[in-house]
Amino acid sequence: MDWVKEVGSRGAEGGWRDDFPLSHDLPPSLVVDCSRLRLPIHPMFAVRLRIFIDWHRQREREVVIVPPEEPAASRLFNAMQIDPQQDASQADDDAVLAVTRLDQPNDAEMVARRTQEIIEYQLPDVSPLGHATFMAIAELCDNAMDHGRNPFGSYVAVQRVTKPRRQVSIAISDLGIGIPEHIRHRYPEWSEDGWAIAHATEESVTGTGDPHRGIGFSAVLEAALTASLHSARMDIHSANGFFRLQVVQETRKPEVFPASRFRRGTWITYDLISV
């Protein structure tokens, strides 16, 4: 009997409403029905579904993806290359960077460069956010490939969103050790996962033992502080922790929330909202 997941019409909002289990207990044939899905489709939804597809296909399960019926949602879904077996022939300006797997050392450099070029040269309404986007992808993907090292690699996707405000949304994920466990190698006293993530984003805090590391998250936020930015929001889910950092008018507002459930690896969404 098939395992069937029906994604709701608003299932992609925020990227987290539907569960895509990475479980060895699932049957050999899986169906994800996205036919009712409508815009917006958050890049984190795209990354999560793509990881689900790749993870199960690597284990020789058949994964069938039913694309959205609504034309605009279908076009973006296709352009984001969520299912690598589908013909990715449709273009959509909002699909800045289709879901991309990073497994070579220079992949982060390549996607950061390509994304900045697309934003600055092809998308004038969000072009002032090009440098901040470059810095976020460069630093966060570098972290994912270094600290989140795992045989499955890391994934990144970037979208432009035009309503209700102009913004660039980035999703970066890996199935590695996760931030809390990584940082506890150095700081075992940070036992609560949410607070461990919060501390890990502070400047000069690093799990590497190198006193000059630990600048990545600070650099990402610093780069966002431009006159073109209305606000920025970074959500980090890892293990049993959920940390949110908002930047509004140069003020940083960190918040730790209880995680709804354990999440393997690290899942970061970063929204840069234009004035």
106 is a site residue for other proteins (CB under 8 A): yes
Cβ distance to other proteins smaller for residue 26 or 219: 219
**Residue of 79, 80, 26 lying closest to 52 (CA atoms):** 26
116 is a site residue for other proteins (CB under 8 A): yes
Q: In angstroms, give the least distance from the CB of 266 to other proteins.
A: 17
Write out the binding residues for other proteins, residues 138-157 only, by CB under 8 A.
138-139, 141-142, 145-146
**Applying CB under 8 A, which of residues 16, 134, 190, 267 lies at the interface with other proteins?**
134
Helix orientation angle between 107-122 and 130-146, rounded to the nearest 10 degrees: 170
131 is a site residue for other proteins (CB under 8 A): yes
- Amino acid identity at 269: T
Among the listed ranges 76-84, 104-112, 160-168, 252-260, the one in contact with other proteins (CB under 8 A) is 104-112
Cβ distance to other proteins smaller for residue 67 or 216: 216
Among the listed ranges 37-45, 103-111, 174-182, 266-274, the one in contact with other proteins (CB under 8 A) is 103-111
Kindly provide the b/e burial profile for residues 180-218, where b requires at least 16 CB atoms within 10 angstroms of the residue's own CB: bebbbeeeeebeebbebbbbbbeeebbbeeeeeebebbe
d(CA 245, CA 203): 14
215 is a site residue for other proteins (CB under 8 A): yes
Write out the two tokens for 149: 């090292």
Sequential DSSP letters for 128-156:
GGHHHHHHHHHHHHHHHHHTT--TT-EEE
Altogether, the residues listed in the chain come to a count of: 275
Among the listed ranges 66-74, 167-175, 216-224, 263-271, the one in contact with other proteins (CB under 8 A) is 216-224
Query: Using alpha carbons only, what angle is made at residue 201 by residues 206 and 132, rounded to the nearest 5 degrees?
Result: 115
d(CA 62, CA 217): 38
- Give one word for 206, left, alpha or beta, with left for phi > 0 and alpha for psi -120 to 50: beta
Phi, psi at 208, each rounded to 5°? -85, -20
| 207-211 contact pairs (CB < 8 A, 24+) | 207/147, 207/182, 207/183, 208/147
Cβ distance to other proteins smaller for residue 12 or 183: 183
Cβ distance to other proteins smaller for residue 20 or 155: 155
Among the listed ranges 9-17, 46-54, 60-68, 213-221, the one in contact with other proteins (CB under 8 A) is 213-221
212 is a site residue for other proteins (CB under 8 A): yes
Query: Using alpha carbons only, what angle is made at residue 61 by residues 59 and 64, rounded to the nearest 5 degrees?
Result: 135
Q: In angstroms, give the least distance from the CB of 218 to other proteins.
A: 8
Among the listed ranges 38-46, 165-173, 189-197, 212-220, the one in contact with other proteins (CB under 8 A) is 212-220
135 is a site residue for other proteins (CB under 8 A): yes
**Applying CB under 8 A, which of residues 28, 58, 69, 113 lies at the interface with other proteins?**
113
Residues making contact with other proteins (CB under 8 A): 105-106, 108-109, 112-113, 116, 131, 134-135, 137-139, 141-142, 145-146, 212-213, 215-216, 218-219, 222
